[in-house]
Structure 1
Amino acid sequence: MAKIEEVKAMVEAGKMRQVPVLVQEALAEGSAAQDILQAMVDSMSVVGDKFSAGEIYVPEMLMSAKAMAKGVDVLKPLMANGSGSSLGTCIIGTVAGDLHDIGKNLVSMMMESAGFAIVDLGVDVPATKWIEAIKDHKNVTLVACSGLLTTTMPALKEAVQTIKGSGLTGFKVIVGGAPVSQQFADEIGADGFAPDAGSAAVKAKELVS
């Protein structure tokens, strides 16, 4: 298990070169791909907590996410073989009027590593585009709407209520972003809320399983 602990430490430290090497070594040591992935997800949860507490900032969080992504690349061929590793398709984007994408990109990485296929709609996504994307893709189990500005909270509300009122079923809606709270998520009818990228992946798995 020693190598897994090293993987966790290097993800937390954002060491992009070391992580894939250590992942290979952990696999050679006999660790299961799923266990290594879980260790990296756990590490990103720690990073997310530190970010929320103001101990680290966006650049450090991005470095950790990129380091994890390098590790996930090593694991992907192994994970693809395991049926049931996929949690379905997650459609993600930042709502209309909002051009922020760092948080969304972090969440995308975390969701993908957790086992979702990602469809990223980008930024400034109008409510109707979410509906089109849900119809265009198979096995959509999760829709993740991001809003980073207080001024775009009405757009977040519109997006969620448009998706929920579309008559389309089979998926859950999760929301997040700096001004968003659990209370606001409840008010607009979202199924879930996450305060940061690390907890978003955990909450997403809870919602669809």
Structure 2
Amino acid sequence: MSLVEKLKHMVIEGNLEEIAGTTGEALGAGIDPQRIIDEALIAAMDKVGERFAAGDLFIPEMLLSAKTMESALAVLRPLIAGKGIQAKAKVVFGTVEGDVHDIGKNLVIMMMQGAGFEVQDLGTNVSPENFYQAVQKYRPNLFCMSALLTTTQGAMARTVQYLKEKGVRESVKVMAGGAPITEAFAREIGADGYAPDAGTAVERAKQLLGLG
């Protein structure tokens, strides 16, 4: 098994203890950081997402894989910054106003980062105004909103409307998700896409952005 395949397997299996050392070993063997990211880390998290969506993995296992991937990225980041390697796309992500739940949001963010997206986490209880300011500041390709409560669904509609009023809605793709959210509701509020869970969020994001 090659070192790249070994790293991929370690992320899938959640081998948090050994991943940093093996990443360093791969770099020492002259393997390019971008190849490690693309063929090991991203490929592994794609497989993890597929398994989660199929019901073969559960949230604790997916979190462990995401943490393992993050440990490898921590070794690679200084080299990535030095080479100026570009992220697949920029994402702004937050839980809407009135909602302070963040477990689902954090899980999706880890999956997106594992897939090569640059994600700005705005946290929870994010007002339409703060979402708008983030779009202006970071110029993302994708704008993601999460809500766990039925009582905060309305904040999603208000946020999309606020972006329209400010003239920036058409500059960014919008994706909505969370326990009470449905595809029909996402369409109703004017979102471009919807993800029912973390396992499918990355694939939906890629589809929206034409990344295959």
TM range (shorter): 0.7 to 0.9
| 1:75 paired to 2:76 | yes
Identity of aligned residues (%): 44
The aligned runs of 1:119-158 (5 Å cut-off) are: 119-135=120-136, 137-158=137-158
Distance 1:183 1:29 in 2: 50
Query: Normalized against structure 2, the TM-score is what?
Result: 0.81
C-alpha spacing 1:88/1:43, structure 2 compared with 1 (3 Å) = closer
Q: Give the 3 Å change call, closer, same or farther, for CA 183–82 of structure 1 in structure 2.
A: farther
Asked if structure 1 preserves the Cα contact closer than 8 Å seen for 2:97 and 2:127, the reply is: yes
Judge conservation of contact 1:45–1:199 (CA < 8 Å) in 2.
Answer: no
* Equivalent residue letter for 2:48: V
Structure 2: how far apart are the matches of 1:40 and 1:147? 28
Q: Which runs of 5+ in 1 are unaligned?
A: none
Once superposed, what is the RMSD of the aligned Cα atoms? 2.7
Task: Give distance in 1, aligned partners of 2:30 and 2:182.
Answer: 41
Cα 1:12/1:120, change in 2 over 3 Å: same
CA distance in 2, matches of 1:154, 1:71: 39
Indicate the residue corresponding to 1:170 in structure 2. 171
The verdict on how the C-alpha distance between 1:149 and 1:37 changes in structure 2, with shifts beyond 3 A counting, is farther
* Alpha-carbon shift at residue 196 of structure 1 (Å): 3.5
Shift of 1:205: 4.5
- C-alpha distance 31-98 of structure 1, shift in aligned 2 (>3 A): same
8 Å contact kept, 2:42–2:116: no
Contact 2:45 2:114 in 1 (8 A): no
Q: Is the CA contact 2:177–2:197 (under 8 Å) kept in the aligned structure 1?
A: yes
- Deviation per CA, 1:97-136, whole angstroms, max 9, x where unpaired? 322212211222333344444322211222222112223x
**TM-score, normalised to structure 1's length?**
0.82
Q: Partners in 2 of 1:86 and 1:112 — Cα distance? A: 9
With over 3 angstroms needed to count, the CA separation of the structure-2 counterparts of 1:2 and 1:183, relative to structure 1, is: farther
C-alpha distance in 1, partners of 2:81/2:119?
Answer: 15
Partner SS for 1:140: coil
Q: What's 2:201 paired with?
A: 200
Find the aligned partners of 2:193 and 2:84 in 1 and give their Cα distance: 26
2:95 corresponds to: 94
Partner of 2:49: 48
List gaps (5 residues or longer) in structure 2.
none
Pick closer, same or farther for the CA change 1:164–1:197 going to 2, 3 Å: farther
Task: Tell me, yes or no, if the aligned pair for 1:87 and 1:205 is still in contact at 8 Å.
Answer: no
The amino acid across from 2:176 in the alignment is V
Number of aligned residue pairs:
208
